[in-house]
Copies of this chain bind each other. A is one copy, B any other.
């Protein structure tokens, strides 16, 4: 096993990887941008090196700086997390050339699966069902109109190098194609440094079901069953669960086996995810391979009991896969939701600023993968994911109840987040009964607006604020003020209160 690795990421995923490393007694090196000196991943790592200014292209995407830092600190391997350089074959190759282990697939297979067009071709040859769509990327934007006509509207515009919903657009007709292509290309360029996009038949109201796989460097593979990730907004997953309510044991078996065929066809190693669309008639289509640890990997961990980051590290260190397919079982039900710094009451616009107060949820079956803390600054430069809340329970109904209670126990003050929105999603009867297609959010939550609830709530909050003011007034008028303060136990609570004088 490695002695020391570098984590080329930030936020909750960097923290989660550092935790896994500690458990395997691996020393960790964090890298950070100038905007992230105070970030959690810098605090929890054993070592930390600043690699450049705030914009990602100058820091978290600065491949040379990262390789150089790995060499200088003696890190034997680099874990890329998700996003940033996680699916950049050039970076994987740079690592290989520098004799630093890239914790992920080999550059070659990453290149194959990362190119959506080539991977579609490969999978078609391997008899994997795929969605009708373009077989190559066109230079000429006019050719896209012809392709779209051939495929038949609606079509989906997708970034060739993409992931995470970035660069994705739907065109329901020819008028919508050009604006969608432009926006998609711009976003793709900005997100991945590559503006190639392609078109696919848009399957309406499908479910998004993906299969987690693990493969070692010796051709041994297992799958860890499915995750259902249909609850999306703007093609970005917000809620994921395992198992999927849409699968029965037969379909689960077939999709798992198909995922392993995909892995073999791509010569893929390390952890990865095979994404499928599942239509109303239970046909499934290969979408793509996500050549990385997924945001939603914890739901798989909770139902299988396997720590995917540990597995990644073992496999990357050249160990043989210790898991056998027959030993793997799904137990109970896990759900994850992503907490974003977005204002759901205002078109989900990003919300940056300072987290003035954070209360993390706790309790049996509750896991909180978190990248923030009371007082942290949420910068505008990076993905707005703050944390992930994941619950496990014996069955789906109890998992939903548990999630709702955990969300009720979760407080973030100072910036807008998706917490209250998520509460309403989990409370929706159609979510509870499992009608969770990709159309769910736009159908039921298009016009969502914040309902803080009752008059009672407003009264209670007003009383608390009045009480707070009343105490400050006392202090200001000096009536009982200073005296009250002196006897307050809070004076001893850290330097902030001590700094009063």
Chain A residues with a Cβ under 8 A of chain B: 16, 19-20, 22-25, 298, 301, 305-307, 310, 331-332, 354, 356-357, 360, 362-370, 374-375, 377, 393-394, 398, 401-402, 405, 408, 414, 468, 471-472, 475-476, 485, 489-490, 492-501
Contact = CB atoms under 8 A, between A and B. Distances in A.
Contact of A362 (B370, B393, B468): B370
A356 B475 CA distance: 23
A426 to B, nearest CB: 13
Contacts of A23: 398, 401-402, 405
Given A298-B364, A307-B394, A374-B493, 18 more contacts: A19-B364, A19-B405, A22-B408, A301-B364, A305-B331, A331-B331, A356-B493, A362-B368, A362-B370, A363-B367, A366-B367, A375-B489, A375-B493, A471-B495, A472-B495, A476-B501, A496-B497, A497-B497
A496 to B, nearest CB: 5
A147 to B, nearest CB: 44
A472 B368 CA distance: 35
B496 A375 contact: no
5 contacts: A305-B332, A310-B398, A377-B489, A472-B498, A496-B496
B356 A19 contact: no
Contacts of A501: 475-476
Contacts of A495: 468, 471-472
A409 to B, nearest CB: 8
The winner among A367, A369, A377 for most chain B CB atoms within 10 A is A367
Contact of A356 (B20, B362, B471, B494): B494
Question: Quick one: copies of this chain in the complex?
Answer: 2
Nearest to A310: B398
Pick from A331, A394, A499 the residue with the most CB of B within 10 Å: A499
Nearest to A400: B23
Contacts of A492: 354, 356, 414
A364 B405 contact: no
Contacts of A22: 405, 408
A356 B16 CA distance: 27
Nearest to A22: B405
A222 to B, nearest CB: 15
Given A362-B368, A370-B362, A306 B497 contact: no
Closest 3 CB pairs of A and B: A500-B500, A23-B401, A22-B405
A401 B22 CA distance: 8
Nearest to A332: B305
A306 B468 contact: no
Q: Which residue among A362, A401, A475, A497 has the maximum number of chain B CB atoms within 10 Å of its CB?
A: A362
Contacts of A370: 362
A25 B475 contact: no
Find the residue from A301, A354, A490 having the highest chain B CB count within 10 A: A490
Nearest to A403: B23
Contact of A401 (B16, B25, B367, B401): B25
Nearest to A374: B493
Nearest to A495: B468
A362 B360 contact: yes
Contacts of A360: 360, 362
Contacts of A485: 499
A325 to B, nearest CB: 16
A22 to B, nearest CB: 5
A501 B481 CA distance: 9
A365 B362 CA distance: 12
Contacts of A364: 16, 19-20, 298, 301, 307, 367, 369
A331 B327 CA distance: 12
